[in-house]
A and B are shown apart, each in its own frame.
Chain A
Amino acid sequence: MEEVTKERFVYADNAATTPVAPEVAEAMTPYFTAVWGNPSSMYSKGREARKALDSARERASKVLGCAPNELYFTSGGTEADNWALKGGARFMREKQGRTHVITSTIEHPAVLRSCEALEREGFRVSRVNVCKNGILDMDELRRTLDGDTAIVAVMYANNEIGTIQPIEEISKLAHEAGALMFTDAVQAVGSIPVDVNALGVDMLSLSGHKLGAPKGIGALYMRRGLKINKYIDGGGQERGMRSGTENLPYIAGLAEALELAASRMDDMERIRRMRDRLADYILKNIPHTIYNGDPSRRLPGNLNISFEYIEGESLLLLLDMAGICISTGSACSSNSLEPSHVLLALGLPAEKAHGSMRVSLSHGNTDEDVDYIIEKLPGIVSRLRSMSPIYPGDDK
């Protein structure tokens, strides 16, 4: 069997994480070396840290179109999701006796597992289906909303298939029912322009490491006037809502990354073209492939394709040997025993979900990267198919 050779390193898994942008690393450095005071201290060393914290909050909120006091820094997307959903649901139960939580079938585990936790507390959870293209079934949402609905949680953009949900419309429906609206925008922020007011949401989560900031920093936007249950008790930081001495270097990094991403939004057109070129090539030249998700209502860097008759983990490992990093929705590639719940929710049979590949491109990728994937991928797919006892042949 032919040796898989590596001539290049191509990172095409930016939906998993992104490298820290050099500008961001540089912007963070002073907060390790010079401005290390506690923002809560009253002397000048503390005041300079406070000033930096305020400035970072202001810069970050400007990018999102909110006021600085509507933004709370967290340890990442998972914390923001947990806080928004659990805090929002409990708040609405205490204030209005509402006990119904509505979400979608394709949310990130941070939301899905939080919903399960709420079920154990006595909440009723409805998981609205998506259509074949991965967009929420709006009729089902309308039928599911009721006067008991405490909160609606639908992600802005999906991490596996990149589909972008009609959040404005969903917000409107949620509010008509008197419910809170929360969106997990972890994959959207940095890849598409995000304006919290245009979206009409009450809460929105984001994560730094998806947009060139480090892992372990994120934020929750919470509309002014809304004071859901606080998340961490302690010294009263983050306006009493999320205690703990602020992680100033990372917060400064997040603010820098948000501004940088906003200034690079034009580059998304280039990324979209690279993505489409790769998609076209694969669909035209590799037989038995399935395009997963919606072709237009989609993050510009995201591509998700299933190769029938092969299994995704094998594909991932061989591509890795060629120097290419991608991810797969196969059960075997994770610690779970089920293939991707997102692909199954599209109605894809399990055997086709096992053979899926997610490519997520970002600013660091070039046309040469796409050329290299195009050079390596077909041979690797055929190699696995030649070993597959169920492969019917290219022309079948």
Chain B
Amino acid sequence: MQYSEKVMDHFAHPRNVGEIENADGVGTVGNATCGDIMQMFLKIENDVIVDVKFKTFGCGAAIATSSMATELIKGHTVKEALELTNKAVVEALDGLPPIKIHCSVLAEEAVRAALADYYTKIGREIDFEVPEKDEEACHIIPEE
């Protein structure tokens, strides 16, 4: 198994690590049994994500995908952030080993979970799919 240089760069120098106090939206996905948990904090002004931070418990790919996801949504509108796909995260990282694809899915879900929290806080109806909490099975995407 080999990580791309981009993945190693984001793993070694993760962007936007930390927490945001009084964040406008916070989302947490994954579970410890499966070995990865991602937490995403958003600061939103006029529907624009002005700041984003993350904390991740997980492997190299989990940290790199969280880091990349924050970069991809920072400065973008909420609507744009909702369009972020795991594929886009994988592409931006120059690919991931097949067994690590689920990390990119988790990153996409962390963004959505944080945005759902934001919608709830401002009383807006959630009109997008929100990741379900599944504590049972670990998130495995079959190899392509």
Q: What is the interface of chain A, defined by CB distance below 8 A to chain B?
A: 1, 4, 309-311, 313-314, 317-318, 321, 330-333, 335, 337, 339, 349-351, 354, 386-391
Contact = CB atoms under 8 A, between A and B. Distances in A.
Interface stretch (B11-19, B72-80, B116-124, B127-135): B11-19
B57 A390 contact: yes
A351 B35 contact: yes
Contacts of B89: none
A354 B30 CA distance: 14
Contacts of B59: 311, 313-314, 330, 332-333
Interface in B1-53: 1, 8, 11-14, 17, 28, 32-39
B32 A390 contact: yes
B138 A387 contact: no
B60 to A, nearest CB: 5
A1 B13 contact: yes
Contacts of A317: 8, 11, 60
B56 A388 contact: yes
B38 A389 contact: yes
B130 to A, nearest CB: 19
A330 B57 CA distance: 12
Contacts of A387: 14, 17, 55-57, 63
Given A1-B17, A311-B35, A313-B60, 4 more contacts: A311-B36, A317-B8, A333-B59, A351-B32
Contacts of A318: 12
A378 B63 CA distance: 19
B28 A350 contact: no
B18 to A, nearest CB: 8
B62 interface: yes
Given A313-B60, A314-B58, A388-B56, A354 B35 contact: yes
B8 to A, nearest CB: 8
Contacts of B92: none
Among A311, A317, A350, A388, residue most surrounded by chain B Cβ atoms (within 10 Å): A311
Contact of A314 (B39, B60, B99): B60
B126 interface: no
A1 B18 CA distance: 11
* Residue from B12, B33, B35, B39 with most neighbouring chain A CB atoms (10 Å): B35
A207 B34 CA distance: 33
9 contacts: A1-B14, A4-B12, A311-B57, A332-B35, A332-B62, A337-B140, A351-B35, A389-B55, A390-B37
